[in-house]
């Protein structure tokens, strides 16, 4: 079946910064809420492999948030999702990752690929006329990247804002200057922002943040763009009639919407459940334990004896289980939390998962098999000590070996997070329990 051309025109910008910590996540969320409150249809996307920012952005915009990344999701998918959103939205915002030019591919690469103007946010605290020099440097660094305006964040006074506006070089203007405000802060923890569902009063805070931006003059729409792409043909229905139980609660919440969409498009029925609160698994043919924060809820997971027994019975019956990162930790015999307390886990994989208080692995990786190449990433603050021999290893983008992937009976477990649409046939094989032959561990 041939792809269908699509085309849409709307206002759009990639919200970025010189680096992490300039406030782009909350400014993006506040902009989405500001324009939504004005009656506009807003769609927000996130550059790169991120689970936590999209949770807040979905609350802010009232619409689904998808990841965009030229390598992980693919260039064609980036164009397609943006063009499809442009057909219905009054405004598209894409939150960048890290600094504008950081990473390979970078947020700037996405903006150039899609034809989006970049709108940098610069933390102006303790900065005067150097603000203009920084803005000019970002705007002139890449000849194909369009930057016409910048936003100043965390200014100290109206006079400070006027000073920054006066520092702008020819061809650039200050869209707005955001004062310091408690409404513009969201707490974080070791993997990023605190999950949206755990933030009490998030809606009220987003309303307050939107008002801060409105008073700073940021209620004006960015430039209009026309976005074109080809809508892909639907995937083959390789999971027709299969029911997949998906863990989803405060301990297991790292779920790409695109992954869920693909499973459904391939014919699967999804049954969500909570390993923390439910006593039994829903009736299912396969089980997915995604990433999350099992270390913060390890005592409750250990105490839910009936759920642990149900998952072990599922495994003993030879039914497929996919366990990613936090899911892998839950499948170990023991989980040692950040306080050094050991908790009994599922015991489907020998050994101990232990929080180590620092970043253990970070980066884009892929798994190559005879069923396709599954792309994704890794990001964790724990280690696994096990006697199990890896079935395969993912590969870093640079080509060196990445995360170990274990297969114990019907269980496939790894710290690697996969982006399912990059390899539909491999994804289907994992959940259908079909044979998969990976590239060798040493290759």
Three-state DSSP state, 174: strand
Q: What is the mean pLDDT of the chain?
A: 94
- The residues near 339 (Cβ < 8 Å, ≥ 6 apart) are none
Question: pLDDT tens across 80-90, in order?
Answer: 999 999 999 99
Amino acid 2: pLDDT = 65
pLDDT at 372 over 60: yes
pLDDT at 189 over 50: no
Closest CA to 189 of 106, 99, 253: 253
pLDDT cut 70: percent of the chain above it: 96
For residues 213 and 31, the answer to whether their CB atoms sit within 8 Å is yes
Amino acid 361: pLDDT = 78
Question: pLDDT tens across 110-150, in order?
Answer: 999 999 999 999 999 999 999 999 999 999 999 999 999 99
> Domain limits of the chain?
4-230, 243-432
Question: pLDDT tens across 29-58, in order?
Answer: 999 999 999 999 999 999 999 888 999 999
If you classify domain 243-432 with CATH, what class do you get? alpha beta
Work out the pLDDT band at 183, boundaries 50, 70, 90.
Answer: confident
- CA 401 to each of CA 116, 200, 330, 368: distance values in angstroms, whole numbers, following the listed order: 35, 41, 24, 12
Rounded Cα–Cα distance for residues 170 and 74 (Å): 36
Average the pLDDT over 86-113 and give the result.
97
- The residues near 44 (Cβ < 8 Å, ≥ 6 apart) are 28, 29, 32, 54, 57, 58, 60, 61, 63, 65, 92, 93, 94, 95
pLDDT at 441 over 60: no
- The residues near 398 (Cβ < 8 Å, ≥ 6 apart) are none
Handedness of CA 424, 235, 419, 192 (dihedral sign): negative
Tell the CATH topology of 4-230.
Answer: Rossmann fold (3.40.50)
Closest CA to 32 of 20, 19, 45: 45
Residue positions annotated with a catalytic role: 325
pLDDT at 443 over 50: no
Instruction: For the chain, give the longest Cα–Cα distance.
Output: 70
Question: pLDDT tens across 253-290, in order?
Answer: 999 999 999 999 999 999 999 999 999 999 999 999 99
Rounded Cα–Cα distance for residues 66 and 45 (Å): 5
pLDDT at 69 over 60: yes
For residues 175 and 217, the answer to whether their CB atoms sit within 8 Å is yes
Average the pLDDT over 361-365 and give the result.
89
Amino acid 196: pLDDT = 57
Q: Where are the alpha helices (DSSP H) in 234-283?
A: 257-265
Amino acid 204: pLDDT = 92
pLDDT at 440 over 80: no
HSE-CB of 148 using CA atoms within 13 angstroms: 7
> What's CA 1's distance to the chain center, in Å?
30
């Amino acid at each position: 079946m041939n792809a269908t051309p699509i085309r849409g025109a709307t206002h759009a910008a990639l919200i970025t910064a010189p680096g992490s910590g300039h406030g782009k996540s909350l400014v993006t969320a506040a902009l989405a809420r500001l324009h939504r409150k004005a009656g506009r249809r807003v769609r927000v996307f996130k550059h790169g492999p991120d689970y936590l920012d999209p949770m807040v952005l979905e609350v802010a915009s009232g619409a689904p948030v998808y990841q965009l990344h030229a390598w992980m999701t693919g260039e064609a998918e980036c164009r397609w999702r943006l063009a499809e959103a442009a057909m219905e939205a009054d405004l598209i915002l894409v939150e960048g990752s890290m600094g504008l030019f950081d990473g390979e591919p970078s947020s700037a690469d996405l903006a150039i690929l899609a034809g989006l103007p970049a709108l940098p946010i610069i933390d102006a605290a303790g900065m005067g006329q150097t603000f203009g020099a920084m803005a000019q440097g970002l705007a002139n660094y890449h000849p194909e990247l369009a930057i016409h305006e910048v936003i100043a964040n965390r200014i100290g006074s109206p006079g400070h804002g006027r000073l920054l506006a006066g520092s702008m070089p020819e061809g650039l203007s200050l869209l707005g200057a955001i004062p310091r405000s408690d409404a513009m802060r969201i707490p974080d923890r070791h993997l990023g922002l605190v999950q949206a569902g755990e933030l009490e009063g998030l809606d009220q805070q987003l309303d307050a943040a939107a008002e801060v931006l409105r008073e700073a003059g940021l209620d004006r729409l960015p430039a209009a763009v026309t976005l074109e792409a080809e809508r892909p043909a639907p995937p083959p229905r390789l999971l027709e009639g299969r029911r997949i139980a998906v863990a989803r609660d405060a301990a297991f919440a790292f779920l790409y919407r695109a992954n869920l969409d693909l499973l459904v498009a391939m014919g699967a029925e999804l049954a969500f459940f909570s390993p923390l609160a439910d006593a039994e698994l829903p009736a299912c043919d396969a089980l997915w334990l995604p990433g999350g924060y099992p270390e913060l809820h390890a005592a409750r997971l250990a105490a839910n004896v009936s759920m642990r027994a149900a998952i072990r019975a599922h495994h003993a019956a030879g039914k497929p289980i996919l366990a990613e990162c936090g899911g892998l930790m839950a499948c170990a015999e023991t989980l040692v939390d950040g306080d050094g307390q050991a908790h009994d886990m599922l015991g489907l994989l020998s050994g101990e998962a232990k929080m180590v208080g620092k970043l253990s692995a970070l980066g884009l990786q892929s798994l190559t098999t005879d069923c396709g190449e599954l792309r994704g990433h890794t990001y964790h603050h724990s280690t696994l000590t096990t006697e199990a021999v890896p079935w395969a290893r993912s590969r870093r983008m640079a080509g060196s070996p990445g995360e170990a992937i274990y297969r114990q009976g019907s269980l496939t477990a790894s710290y690697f997070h996969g982006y399912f649409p990059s390899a539909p046939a491999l994804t289907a094989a994992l959940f259908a329990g079909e044979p998969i032959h990976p590239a060798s561990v040493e290759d």
